[in-house]
Amino acid sequence: MKNLKQKMTGNSFLLIITVVLFLIMYGAGMVIFADKGFAKPQMFLNLFISNAGLLVMSMGLTIVMIAGGIDISVGSVTALVCMVCAKQMEQNGASAYAAVLIAIAIGLAFGLVQGFLISYLDIQPFIITLAGLFFGRGMTAVVSKDMISITNKTFLAWANYKIYLPVGSYSKKGNFIPAYIYPTVIIAILIFIVIALIMKFTKFGRSVYAVGGNAQSAMMMGLNVKRIKLKAYLLDGFLAGIGGFLFCLNSCSGFVEQAKGMEMDAISSAVIGGTLLSGGVGTPFGTVFGVLIKGTITSLITTQGTLSSWWVRIVLSALLCFFIVLQSIFASLKKKG
Amino acid sequence: MEKIKKITSMQLFLPIVCLVAVLLINVITTPGFFKISINNGVLYGYIVDVVNRASELVILAVGMTLVTAASGGQDISVGAVMAVAGAVICQILSGGEVSVNQIANPIILAVIAGVIVAGICGAFNGFLVAKLNIQPMVATLILYTAGRGIAQLITKGQITYIRDESYQVIGGFIKGCPVPTPIFVAIIVVVITMVILKKTALGLYIESVGINGDASRLVGLNSTMIKFLTYVICGVLAGVAGWVASSRIYSADANNIGLNLEMDAILAVALGGNNLGGGKFSLAGSIIGAFTIQALTTTLYAMNVSGDQLPVYKAIVVVVIVVLQSPVFKKFMATQKARKAAAQGGGQ
C-alpha cells in the first residue's frame, strides 16, 4: 500500500495524467468531429506544424524551470525575432541564412543578459524576465510599427517545402492524399531529441536537475550553481531564438502583436507536462505532451467553429491552474509522507 | 556630512530625487510645464494631466505595495482585472447592448458588481498564493493571460459604449469642480488605506508576514489569511482603477483598459524604495513612485515616443532599479567603498 502511495505521489504519475488527458481529448475530438476530418493523420501532424516554434521554446522553458527559474519573455522574443528578421530581409536585403543567425543572436542576447542578472546578481527571475517581456515587445514596436510580410524567396521556399509521408488519407473519390509536414517539424523534433539527451545523459543536464532540486546542496557538492543557471538561461535564450524563427517560418510576417501570450503557452506546456514550478523535476518528453494538449485544445475549438478564439487561452489557463493545484496537493502529500 | 548621509539613506530619498529629476527634464524641454490655466471652468496644464492620469496607477500601486510586502511577489494580473471590472460595469450599465445613450441600470449597482468581481479575481490569486503556496507571479500569470479573454467574453468581443453623462463623471469632472474626479478617487483610496494601516495592526502584520512568514505564524498570526487578504485588497483596488479607466473612455475596451499598467505598478513600488522581496514597505514611496512613472510616461509621449514603444524605457528603468536594490550589488559597492577608504587610510 505504501509502495502504491509512493508511486501515486511520484512525479511520473503527473506525466501519466497528462498522457491520458491528451489521449482522451484527442480521442474525443476524433469521435465528435469525425465528419470534419479530425481523425485524419494530417490533423495530428498539424498539431506539430502549427506548434513547432512553441515546442522548441517550451524545451527552453522546461530547462530553466527545472533549474528553478522561469522565463516569461519568450513570447516577446518571438515577436522581436520575427520583426527583425522580416525587416532585415525585406528592407535591408539580408539573406534568409543571415536571418537565422540574427534570430539566434537575439535569443542568445536575451539569454545572456537575463541569465547574468538572475544568476550572478541574484534577482528574482520573474522581475527580470517580465522586464524582458516588455523590453522585447517595445523593441518590436521600435523596429517597425507596421506589419511586414516576408517575400524573400529562399525563406518562403523553406516555409512551404512540404515533406510527404507514406501515411495519409483517402479522398471521397478514393484517391490517396499523402500527409505532409514542413521542415520546421523535423527541426523541432531533432531539437527535442538533443535536449532530451542533454538533460538525461550529460553532466550539464544532471547539474541542472541538482541545482533546481536544491541549490544549497548542489553548491555543497561542488557544483558552480551560478554558472549552471547562466548556462540554462543561455540555452533557453538560444532555443527561444530558434523557436521564434520557426514561428516566423509559420507566420511569414512580423508585427507588434505577434505571439502575444506565447510565454503562457510555453509555461503551461511545461507545467502540464510534469515540470514542477518549484524546480528540480521535469522532462522534455512530458513537455511534448503539454504542447500537444495545447495544440489539441486549439484545434478542437477552431474545428468546433462557433466558440471564440478567446476560449483557447481560458481553457489553457484553467488547465494550468488545475495542474498547479495538483502539484501542490502532491507536494503536501509528500511532506506528510 | 552626517546630515547628508542621514538624508540620502532615507527611504523616500530615491523616489523624490527621481521625481524631481523627471520634472526638471520636463521644465527644460517643455517651458510651459508647470503652467496651469482654467478653460471652461476646469484646470488645464501638463502637471494637471500628469496628476490626473496617475490616479489609476496610484490606486494600483497601493494594492501592489501590500501584495509585495506580504508575499514577496507581485500581482501581474491587475491590468487584466481592470479590464474585467470595466467590462462587468459597462455590460450591466448597457443592459447587454453594445452602445447605449442612456444607462439601463443604476451606476452604483454596476460599480459594486464590478468591484466584487475584481475582488473575486483577487481572492482567486490569493487562494493560489496563500493557500497553495504557489509563487505569486506564476499564480497571477493565469489571470494575466486569461483575464482579457474573460473580459472579451463578458462584452461578447465588442467594445461596449456608455454615452451617458452621469457615467463619465468619475473619469471626468464633477459639475462646477475644476479638479478632475480621478484625483479625488485616488486620494480617497489612499486615505482609507492609510487609516486602516495606521489605526489597525494590519500594516504591522503585513510587514511581519513578509519578513518571516513562519515566525509570524509561530507568534500567532494567521499568515495565510493576511496574504490572502492583501490579494483581495489588490483585486478590489484594481476593480476601482478599472472603473475609473472605463469611465474615462466611457466604454469597456477589453484589449486596452489597463494595458501594461501592471509593469507601471511594479515600477512604482520598486521606485518607492520598497524591496520587491517583501517585508517593510512605504506606501508614500509607492505613491511618489506612481507619479514619477506617470511623469515619465507623459515626458516620453511629449518626446514623440509612441505608446507601444514605451515599455522599452520602462523595462530598462526597472532593471536598473532592481540591480541597484540587489544585495549582491550593494555588497559589491560596500566592499569597493571599504577598499577605497582603506587605500586612503594607508596613504595618510
Answer yes or no: is B3 within a domain: no
DSSP letter at B281 equals -
Answer yes or no: is B135 within a domain: yes
How many angstroms separate the Cα of B196 from the Cα of each of B13, B189, B239, B335?
25, 11, 19, 41
Answer yes or no: is B4 within a domain: no
Query: Over the Cα atoms of chain B, what is R_g?
Result: 21
Residue A134 to residue B143, Cβ atoms within 8 A: no
Residue B311 to residue A138, Cβ atoms within 8 A: yes
User: Is residue A7 classed exposed, middle or buried when 0-12, 13-18 and 19+ CB atoms within 10 A define those classes?
Assistant: exposed
Number of domains in chain B: 1
User: Residue A328 has what pLDDT?
Assistant: 82
Which chain A positions have a beta carbon within 8 Å of B293's beta carbon? Answer: none
Cβ(B312)–Cβ(A138) below 8 Å: yes
User: Residue B268 has what pLDDT?
Assistant: 92
User: Residue B126 has what pLDDT?
Assistant: 96
Answer yes or no: is B185 within a domain: yes
> Any idea what the CATH number is for the domain that residue B322 is in?
1.10.3470
Tens digit of each residue's pLDDT (9 = 90 or more) over A1-49 = 455 555 555 667 888 888 999 999 999 988 888 887 788 888 889 999 9
User: Residue A1 has what pLDDT?
Assistant: 47
Residue B323 to residue A123, Cβ atoms within 8 A: yes
Domain of residue B146 covers: 10-35+42-334
How far off is chain A from B294, nearest CA to CA, in Å?
17
Instruction: State how far the Cα of A218 lies from the Cα of A226, in Å rounded to an integer.
Output: 11
Contacts 24+ apart (CB under 8 A), B162-167: B162/B90, B162/B93, B162/B94, B162/B100, B162/B103, B162/B250, B162/B251, B163/B99, B163/B100, B163/B101, B163/B250, B164/B93, B164/B100, B164/B101, B164/B102, B164/B103, B164/B250, B166/B103, B166/B107, B167/B93, B167/B103, B167/B107, B167/B247, B167/B250
First to last CA, chain A: 13
Report the percent of chain B where pLDDT is more than 90. 43
Residue B134 to residue A328, Cβ atoms within 8 A: yes
Cβ(B295)–Cβ(B33) below 8 Å: no
Query: Does position A66 have pLDDT exceeding 80, yes or no?
Result: yes
Which of A130, A225, A265, A309 to mutate to test binding with chain B, by most B CBs within 10 Å of its CB?
A130
The architecture in CATH of the region A13-28+50-336 reads Orthogonal Bundle (1.10)
**Across A97-107, average pLDDT:** 95
Grid coordinates given for A187: 527541426
Q: How many CB pairs lie under 8 A apart between chains A and B? A: 121
User: Residue A314 has what pLDDT?
Assistant: 86
**Across A289-293, average pLDDT:** 94
DSSP A154-187: HHHHHHH--EEEEEEEE-TTS-EEEEEE-HHHHH
User: Residue B23 has what pLDDT?
Assistant: 86
Low-confidence ranges of chain B (pLDDT < 70): 1-2, 7-9, 346-348
Answer yes or no: is B95 within a domain: yes
User: 3-class DSSP state for residue A208?
Assistant: helix
User: Residue B346 has what pLDDT?
Assistant: 59
Query: Does position A212 have pLDDT exceeding 50, yes or no?
Result: yes
CA nearest to B147, candidates B89, B81, B88, B90: B81
User: 3-class DSSP state for residue B180?
Assistant: strand
Q: Which of A218-227, A252-261, B36-45 has the lowest mean pLDDT?
A: B36-45
Query: Does position A72 have pLDDT exceeding 80, yes or no?
Result: yes
User: 3-class DSSP state for residue B252?
Assistant: strand
Quick one: pLDDT band at residue A53, thresholds 50, 70, 90? very high
Residue A318 to residue B312, Cβ atoms within 8 A: no
DSSP B17-44: HHHHHHHHHHHHH-TTTT--EEETTEEE
User: Residue B57 has what pLDDT?
Assistant: 96
